[in-house]
Amino acid sequence: MQSHWLMRALVIVALAAAVSLVLARRAASSPPAAPGESHKQLWHCGMHPQVIEDHPGNCPICGMALTPLNSSASADAAAPRKILYWWDPMLGPSSMSDHPGKSAMGMDLVPVYADSGGPEVQIDPAVVQNMGVRTAQVLRAPLKKTVRTIGLLSLPETGMHDVSLKIGGWIDKLYVDQEGMHVQKGQALLELYSPDLQVAGQELISARKALQSPGAAVPGPLREEAQKLLESARRKLTLWDIDDREIDAIAAADEPPKDVVFRSPATGHVEEKAIVQGSSVQPGMKLLRIADHSKAWLDMQIYEDQYPFVEMGQKVVASLDAIPGKTFDGTVTFIYPHLDHMSRTLEVRATLDNPDFQLKPGMYATVEILTKPVADAILCPREAVIDTGTRQIAFIAESGGHFAPRKVRTGLAGDNDLVQIVRGLAPGETVVTSGQFLLDVESRTIEATQKLGADAAALVTEAEPDTQPAAVELPVESKPAPEPVTTSPPAQPASRPANQLAGLTQIYCPMVKADWVQLGSRVANPYLGHKMPDCGDVRRQLPSPPPDSPLVHFVHAYIDVQKHMSDDALDEASVAKLKAAAADLPNSSYGPLRAATAKLAGASDLKAARDTFQSLSSELIAALDHPGK
């Protein structure tokens, strides 16, 4: 019977504690400001907008001084806003809470109000500026896409001319005596002696003399025959590529000259030379090759996915490392009909003007082919589109700090970091180009909350019911028997051997800017506890005290206190044990360590104990580095 009443008492106490906790949470979550009250000044960090405090100070992340936050909330003080939930934007939906407090990172939770309008996000203009939000307008313009590649300069085949003879003979004089010489069209190349030329020249001279006979008048039929012979002789020399000037000179002479001059058929450079002075030549033999350098071919390789954008007649801009600061324009004149199956590239040729002969065959050039795959397109900056892999989202900037997400569909990517919008945006709209990832996190959280329950207030109702839960009474036969309660003092833990102190580690907390000592390198922060248990940087391994050192028992007691504080607990037994161990230390050698221990033992709560634990840890580190000094 006595155990039955004891169980009832325990149940009543538990229910009373639960009710008190619910009321405290409701009081904390209710908006403190009533209509007409003055707005409270907030302070924030310009480098970390998520850090917002209600008092001036320094940022716990970077140490910069907090600046006043000009909020527009005071303008809405007359209309209290309903808080849906509290959360940490850096951690996302996992940090959602129904009451204010701290997140797992130690940051103050931020309220989300019911009038935020679903997935649409509203941000204070000052916060927008601190977040670095930038916007741009959606345009309607031609989509320009530049295909960049590498090209190799070569001589155009259309500008090459071979010099070959249709008669045999010997070269008595060679005017073009080395490769690379520049020649003009009609310039003398060589003088050739040929028996065939002697006969043809004599026929021309005889026909001319017969036609110009000074004797009696030549009858009509004979004159016509002489005229035909003259024309036939001239035509034969012309077909042998003899210049008209040379034919006229031969016809005017009394005897055919020994050598006949052959002239260049084109302007260009001598690329090949197969003869020297005195060489014997045969009909059809190639003597020289002359190439026109006034134009150059530029052969480029483009990938198969770039091929649809390249067309005949498109403009090409080439630049060369050998000629810095200058570009050469040309046009696409040929696209090869086949693809290289090894490199998966297609060859494209452009023709460039080369009036000053600056472009040399064999030079490499960096090439840009200017294409316009879409003449009329809707364009927006590429960074304005968030591509998740399954969907593409852009945020529309509206008035009053409102940002609305919208699903879009992109097309081709163009120059100047512009992308074609196939669906979702219209020209003239303003999109967010920087900071949209933070907006996306906020919008996703609001959307997820709506999907879970249509109203996040239901979460608060479920967590904190308005009606007090009824007490549940167990059947008599199922009630466990209470364990006997003893009032004897807890047994003192046996002292650990000194070899268990191997692995003492000094760890630094960047948030508190203080060190502590622990066993092992797995961080257990005694200053922040469960808020940030893993916050700490391992600095070094500390030397273990000798087995006979009075520091052995003190370090064991210190480790116990450190472990309890990392669990957000101030254990009086561990503190008493630490104080007793400090009393055994020689005052002459460990006076500062004993004084720091006394301050810790006099701490009234966990916060005060953590403040004194900093100086205690510093003195312990110094004692371990210099024992007995």
Alpha helix stretches (DSSP H) within 101-211: 125-131, 195-211
Between the two ends of the chain, the Cα-to-Cα distance in Å is 64
The residue type of 141 is A
Q: What is the pLDDT of residues 385-420, one digit of tens each?
A: 988 778 888 888 887 777 788 889 998 888 888 999
Helix, coil or strand: residue 559: helix
Averaged pLDDT for residues 188-207:
91
Comparing CA positions, the residue from 441, 420, 457 lying closest to residue 89 is 441
Q: Please tell me whether residue 457 adopts helix, strand or coil conformation.
A: helix
Task: State the Cα–Cα distance between residues 221 and 145, nearest whole angstrom.
Answer: 76
| Strands 392-397, 385-387: pairing kind | antiparallel
| pLDDT score of 52 | 79
Residue 134 in 3-state DSSP? strand
3-class secondary structure, 250: helix
Residues whose CB falls within 8 Å of the CB of residue 567, separated by 6 or more in sequence, listed in order: 529, 530
DSSP letter at 102? B
Distance CA 383, CA 128 (A): 18
Q: What is the pLDDT of residues 107-165, one digit of tens each?
A: 788 776 654 444 555 666 655 656 667 889 999 999 889 999 999 999 999 999 999 99
- Return the higher-pLDDT residue of 64 and 214: 64
Pairing of strands 402-413, 67-69: unpaired
pLDDT value for 219: 65
The pTM assigned to this predicted structure is 0.47
Candidates 529, 534, 602, 593; CA nearest to 563 is 529
Task: State the pLDDT at residue 94.
Answer: 64
pLDDT tier at 587 (50, 70, 90 boundaries)? confident
pLDDT tens column, 4-24: 444 554 444 444 444 343 334
What is the structure's pLDDT at 487?
Answer: 38
The answer regarding whether domain 135-155+294-434 maps to CATH 3.40.50.2300 reads no
CA distance to 68, 182, 213, per residue, from 229 (Å): 111, 39, 14
How high is the pLDDT of residue 93? 58
Six-digit token pair at 522? 């797995």
Percentage of the chain exceeding pLDDT 70: 74
Residue 221, C-beta contacts closer than 8 angstroms, at least 6 positions apart:
none
Among 311-315, 359-363, 573-577, which stretch is predicted with the lowest mean pLDDT? 573-577
Q: Which amino acid is at 366?
A: T
What is the per-residue pLDDT across 475-526, written as a single tens digit (0 to 9) for each?
A: 333 344 444 434 344 444 444 444 467 788 999 988 888 999 998 888 899 9
From CA 219, how far away is CA 556, in angstroms rounded?
145
Instruction: Read off the pLDDT band of 300 (50, 70, 90).
Output: very high
Percent of all residues in the chain with a pLDDT value above 90, rounded to a whole number: 33
> What's the pLDDT at 463?
40
Is residue 530 over pLDDT 60?
Answer: yes
Determine contact, residues 371/147, Cβ cutoff 8 Å.
yes
Q: Average pLDDT for residues 583-595, to the nearest whole number?
A: 85
Decide if pLDDT at 565 tops 70.
yes
DSSP structure class, residue 269: E
Residue 319 phi/psi, 5° resolution?
A: -135, 145
Top pLDDT among 488 and 307 is at 307
CB 93 within 8 A of CB 87: yes
Q: What is the pLDDT of residue 121?
A: 59
What whole-number distance in Å separates Cα of residue 545 and Cα of residue 553? 10
Task: With beta carbons less than 8 A apart as the criterion, state whether 56 and 111 touch.
Answer: no
pLDDT at 86: 75
Reading the block at residue 447, the tokens are 């959307």
Distance of CA 430 to the CA centre of its chain: 23
159 in Cβ contact with 268 (< 8 Å): yes
Tell me the average pLDDT across 297-308: 92
Distances (CA, A) of 406 to 27, 93, 116, 413, 452: 38, 21, 16, 19, 21
Q: What is the pLDDT of residues 424-438, one digit of tens each?
A: 899 999 998 876 556
- 520 versus 470: the higher-pLDDT residue is 520
Q: Which of 400, 437, 439, 405 is nearest to 125 (CA)?
A: 400
Nearest CA among 117, 105, 119 for reference residue 51: 105
Phi-psi map region of 117: left, alpha, beta (phi>0 left; psi -120 to 50 alpha):
left
Using one digit for the tens of pLDDT, what is the confidence trace for 547-557?
888 888 889 89
- Count other C-beta atoms under 10 Å from residue 178's C-beta: 8
Residue 167: pLDDT band (50, 70, 90) is very high
What is the distance between the alpha carbons of residues 104 and 389, in angstroms, rounded to a whole number?
A: 30
Q: What is the pLDDT of residue 452?
A: 43
Question: What pLDDT score was predicted for residue 18?
Answer: 43
Question: What gap in Å lies between CA 229 and CA 579, rounded to an integer?
Answer: 139
Q: Under CATH, what is the fold of the domain 160-291? A: OB fold (Dihydrolipoamide Acetyltransferase, E2P) (2.40.50)
Place of tokens 């795959």: 373
Close Cβ partners of 240 (under 8 Å, ≥ 6 residues apart): 165, 166, 167, 197, 200
Tokens of 519: 């066993």
Its sign, for the CA torsion 437, 441, 442, 447, is: positive
pLDDT digits (tens, 9 = 90+) for 318-340: 999 999 999 999 999 999 999 99
pLDDT at 321: 92
Which token pair is 463? 């967590």
pLDDT tens string 62-89: 788 888 865 444 444 445 666 767 777 6
Q: At residue 39, does pLDDT exceed 70?
A: no
Q: Does residue 211 contact residue 226 with C-beta atoms inside 8 Å?
A: yes
Q: What separation in angstroms does the CA of 119 have from each of 111, 357, 458?
A: 15, 64, 18
Supply the mean pLDDT for the chain.
78
pLDDT at 290 over 90: yes
Residue 330 is predicted with a pLDDT of 95
Beta carbons of 178 and 224 less than 8 angstroms apart: no
Domains 135-155+294-434 and 160-291 share a fold: no
What pLDDT does 169 receive?
94
Give the pLDDT confidence score for residue 269 in this predicted structure: 93
Split at pLDDT 50, 70, 90, the class of 239 is very high
* CA triple 65-70-74, angle to 5 deg: 140
DSSP string for 499-533: GGGTTEEEEEETTTTEEEEEESSS---TTTTTSST
Least confident of 26-40, 158-172, 270-284: 26-40
pLDDT band at 348 (very low <50, low <70, confident <90, very high): very high
> Which amino acid is it at 199?
V
Tokens of 125: 């203009």
Read off the pLDDT of each residue in 616-622 and give the average, rounded to a whole number: 90
Predicted confidence (pLDDT) at residue 302 exceeds the cutoff of 90: yes
Query: At residue 332, what are phi and psi to the nearest 5 degrees?
Result: -75, 120
pLDDT at residue 469, rounded to an integer: 35
> What's the pLDDT at 393?
87
Extract the tokens encoding 131: 């977040």
For the chain, domain boundaries: 2-132+451-462, 135-155+294-434, 160-291, 500-625
pLDDT at 439: 58
